[in-house]
Structure 1
Amino acid sequence: MSACGAEPGLISIDQALSLIQQRTQVLGVEIIDLNSALHRYLAENVYSNINLPMFSQSAVDGYAIHADDVIQADATFALIGEIRAGQSAEFELKHGQAVRIFTGAQIPNGTTTVARQEIVKTLENQTIQISETLKSHADIRDIGEEISVGQCLAEKGQQLTVGAIAALSMAGIQQIQVFQYPKVAVVITGDEVAETVEDFASGKIFDANAPLIQAWFKQRNQTVDIFHVADTEQAVKTLLADLSQNYQLILTTGGVSVGDYDFIRPVALDLGFEQIFWKVKQKPGKPMFFAELQKTDQTSCYLLGLPGNPAAVYVGMQIYTSTLLDAFQGQASSLQWFSAELSHDLKADARERFLRMSVQFDQAKLKVQSLAKQQSHMLSNLMQANCLVRIPAGDKIEAGQIVQGIFI
């Protein structure tokens, strides 16, 4: 008998990720409001239709002045009015004149410089005096100095962050074209899921997987539909047959191993799903299943079957579901691996492992520390974990060795 993790047919983590990227059809595009686009990927370049600033404006609260070149200290100017932000400057300054102006307000024609209010004294007879030498063109924001008409603001494939949305909003962009999110059904299998405390009397347990997955998608600004199904072949078959016609992704937890009540894989194959891979040489989450159903309308429904243990589900979401969602949107995986020094020894294992760890800077080095309670049915250490670290298979890993991880 083969050792656990060494049986034939297992593929590597990298092979599994590559197959997800290669086999997943890119979805179409849609136009949505910018304020709903957090985490979405752009399906086209975005160009500016305006200059930014749209007009030359004051960078400070102060006074717009018309003068020749450098203004010497103690120079005086006639104050002829005031311009607040949002008001248009409908007059022209002449030599020796000044106007009170506020940050962001349009500077009037004829302005050669702006004097910040801290260096200005107000005299009698609507006269101001500059207390310091002032260069020409001080504190003026020129039209188009940040963005000009026709400038590319964001490129196709770029993921929209909070900062990107703010920058596009300032440029007047209100709608954008993005790659579609898949419609996702989440199937929680198992008769053991408790709905009330009283259910514990019959040996049931509370479900962590549905809240975990729902919160994970919510963090990505996406909603999913949750379904629970009993551990019977007919119940699984009826549900998967229906979901496969209405969703682009079916994400399941449990029922993908070789137990007597593990019906996800055999039912999916019976319904016409083509197996892309089953079982990955990793820990936790070895019996992961990925399959595709090609439908008569030339579209596909994909099934990603994760093991039932919640730690395996968590790893599957962070590593594989993330990669799959990116592939739907025509993107390479968004997994951002960091390198860090392992602060302690780790025993050898036949499979690559994803361990929940704590990462922090120590004397200018990024270091990771493993946490207790790493078993696949345990989640409590996620209260302290801030990264998943990928530990190579084979030999013992020694303290000081460099390992790869992702922040969570």
Structure 2
Amino acid sequence: MNQALSKELKPTKNLTVSHGGCGSEEGLISVDQALQMLLDHTQSLDIETLTLDQTLNRYLAKAVYSKINLPLFSQSAVDGYAICAAPATLGMGTSFELIGEIRAGQNLEIQLQQGQAIRIFTGAKVPANTSTVARQEIVQLLDNGETRKIVLTEPLQSHADIRDVGEEVACGQLLADLGQKLSVGAIAALSMAGVKNIEVFKYPKIAVVITGDEVSVNVEDLASGKIFDANAPLIQAWFQSRSQEVDIMHVADTEQAVTALLNRLKNEYDLILTTGGVSVGDYDFVRPVTLKLGFEQIFWKVKQKPGKPMLFADLLRQDGSHCYLLGLPGNPAAVYAGMQIYTATLVKVLQGQKKLPEWFSGTIQHELKADTRERFLRMTVQFNDGQLLLNSLSKQQSHMLSNLMHANCLVRVPAGEKMVVGTKLQGLFI
């Protein structure tokens, strides 16, 4: 695992460079092939029932239909007066006998008669025979101690300011569909409809394995050639931003240590996410150990930069369940790109979402040199005059992360051709 941070951030006009025949290596698959293989070779997890307050950012495993009308009953949309009158008698100066008051939450069995009105508040159930509601701003209250009445100071339309029963949602109406992600707003809407429990796809139990003897635990270790760990905090924060917990652990670069850890994890977790150890170096043990433990390799090495030596493998356990392993290279920029593109896709597929990433289209504002591999560049995007405008940042090497202080998108740059100003490119907001 190789991790470091850079210091300068400057926009660049020409981002780099050909790396000889590296991108021409046999056996490499394209980014789109790799993503499609994630979809094709991953099974969704089982379904569980949770209380609504536990389901933020989860995916629905079953459509939800309303069991009630919304509103539950016809109600006042304002503070004012419910009136019983024919439309012809709603002119300015018309008076009505005031017979009482209804507050929100009360269920008074009152039936208005012609010429009568009742004080009502927002959300209160309108009584039977209500023709309209007059907001309090257009009503004058007259009280001589014996009788009370109201007088309209403006003409009033029939059926004004009444929320009709079921006007928002009818009983039996679809509220949320299979596969829908439960956002804050979705949870609020379902709660208003009285939904208490909901069926969702289980969230995968995920183990994160950080490989590498060079990772520092404290400042004193730096003097011995070690470096700070960026990958564990990066991955932990990535999952935290999605309201998910993962188990993070470190392992030494020895075959025995990697074997012992992966052998234990394969029976306990739905997904093992590793960083480092997936290339062909003398201390890259993740891939050979994974295969030795019985995993089937789905793909290894993607024609992209950063993150070429990526591994995806599947273990079918004796009970018919699966343990998947996604091995990301150790360089932190490769880890970052891998999380945004591949981990995000895989975690969604495990929750029933067999969908490719949703790329936006933006316009590059400067030239980019050709490269033999498709690149994922950290850029800034801003909306201007109806367009999304893209600008690259410097320090794009795979061991550098400092430009993430400014980047707000990750952009796909096709291989083998120079990008001229105005070229349309695909990207992901980050």
SS, match of residue 87 in structure 2: coil
- The residue type paired with residue 402 of structure 1 is K
CA shift, 1:364, in A, is 2.2
Match of residue 265, structure 1, among 283, 287, 291: 287
SS, match of residue 298 in structure 2: strand
CA shift, 1:133, in A, is 0.8
Match of residue 125, structure 2, among 95, 98, 106: 106
How far apart, in 1, do the equivalents of 2:52 and 2:399 lie?
Answer: 40
Q: Percent identity?
A: 66
1:170: which partner in 2?
192
SS, match of residue 14 in structure 1: helix
With normalisation by structure 1, the TM-score equals 0.98
Matched, 1:225 2:244: no
CA shift, 1:213, in A, is 0.9
1:93: which partner in 2?
112
1:80: which partner in 2?
99
SS, match of residue 237 in structure 1: helix
1:68: which partner in 2?
86
- The residue type paired with residue 216 of structure 1 is W
How far apart, in 2, do the equivalents of 1:211 and 1:64 lie?
Answer: 60
Match of residue 206, structure 1, among 207, 228, 241: 228
1:194: which partner in 2?
216
Maintained 8 Å contact 2:274/2:328: yes
Match of residue 12, structure 1, among 19, 27, 30: 30
Matched, 1:119 2:138: yes
Match of residue 159, structure 1, among 168, 173, 181: 181
Q: Which runs of 5+ in 1 are unaligned?
A: none
How far apart, in 2, do the equivalents of 1:337 and 1:2 lie?
Answer: 29
CA shift, 1:2, in A, is 6.6
1:40: which partner in 2?
58
Q: Deviations over 1:188-232 (max 9, x none)?
A: 001111111111111111111111111111222211001110111
Match of residue 334, structure 2, among 288, 295, 312: 312
CA shift, 1:334, in A, is 5.5
2:15: which partner in 1?
none
How far apart, in 2, do the equivalents of 1:118 and 1:166 lie?
Answer: 32
Q: Deviations over 1:228-274 (max 9, x none)?
A: 10111100000000000100100000111111111000111111111
How far apart, in 2, do the equivalents of 1:259 and 1:215 lie?
Answer: 29
How far apart, in 2, do the equivalents of 1:166 and 1:124 lie?
Answer: 43
2:152: which partner in 1?
130
How far apart, in 2, do the equivalents of 1:94 and 1:179 lie?
Answer: 54
Which stretches of structure 1, 4 residues or more, deviate above 3 A after TM superposition? none
Structure of greater relative contact order (alpha carbons < 8 Å, 6+ residues apart): 2
**The 10-residue stretch of structure 1 (92-101 or 342-351) with the greater mean CA deviation from structure 2:** 92-101
Q: Deviations over 1:90-147 (max 9, x none)?
A: 2111111111111111111121100011111112232111111111110000111111
**The 10-residue stretch of structure 1 (159-168 or 327-336) with the greater mean CA deviation from structure 2:** 327-336
Maintained 8 Å contact 1:294/1:301: yes
Maintained 8 Å contact 2:61/2:352: no
How far apart, in 2, do the equivalents of 1:214 and 1:86 lie?
Answer: 46
How far apart, in 1, do the equivalents of 2:63 and 2:97 lie?
Answer: 49
Q: How many residues align?
A: 408
CA shift, 1:89, in A, is 2.5
1:248: which partner in 2?
270
Matched, 1:402 2:424: yes
Match of residue 236, structure 1, among 258, 274, 290: 258
Maintained 8 Å contact 1:312/1:376: yes
- The residue type paired with residue 284 of structure 1 is P
Cα RMSD of the aligned pairs, angstroms, is: 1.2
**The 10-residue stretch of structure 1 (142-151 or 332-341) with the greater mean CA deviation from structure 2:** 332-341
Match of residue 329, structure 1, among 351, 363, 377: 351
1:27: which partner in 2?
45
Q: Which runs of 5+ in 2 are unaligned?
A: 1-18
- The residue type paired with residue 388 of structure 2 is L
